[in-house]
Amino acid sequence: MGIGIGLFVLVMILIAPASRAFLVANVSASADWMAKWAPFSFILLALLLAAPVVGIYLMKTWPVHVEPENPMAKYRREAPVDDGD
């Protein structure tokens, strides 16, 4: 459902010529900036693209939390069993 809503909003934004011109201008300005700052911009872009992948990897490989056992459990006395005699 979220993908459908997102695609609908994207189509509505791209229909309007003013918003399309704004998006094209921003993309071209970003491409010019990346060309001017070539090595640094590509390193920044690589970091931005790698960060979610590293985050997902960390979440998948993070150790499972094990609930510690109660240290006082071995000292707990059980209630005496009444035979009913």
Indicate the domain borders of the chain: 10-61
44, amino acid identity: L
Instruction: Please answer whether residues 14 and 20 qualify as being in contact, where contact means their C-beta atoms are separated by less than 8 angstroms.
Output: yes
| Chain Cα centroid distance, residue 3 | 17
Q: What is the mean pLDDT of the chain?
A: 88
pLDDT at 43: 95
Q: Is the pTM of this model over 0.75?
A: no
Tell me the Ramachandran region of residue 13: left when phi exceeds 0, alpha when psi lies from -120 to 50, beta otherwise. alpha
Binning pLDDT at 50, 70 and 90, where does residue 13 land?
A: confident
Q: Could you read off the pLDDT of 30-45 as tens digits, one per residue?
A: 999 999 999 999 999 9
The string of DSSP codes covering 10-27 is: HHHHHHSHHHHHHHHHHH
Query: CA-CA distances (angstroms) from residue 76 to 4, 22, 31, 69, 83?
Result: 58, 71, 69, 13, 21
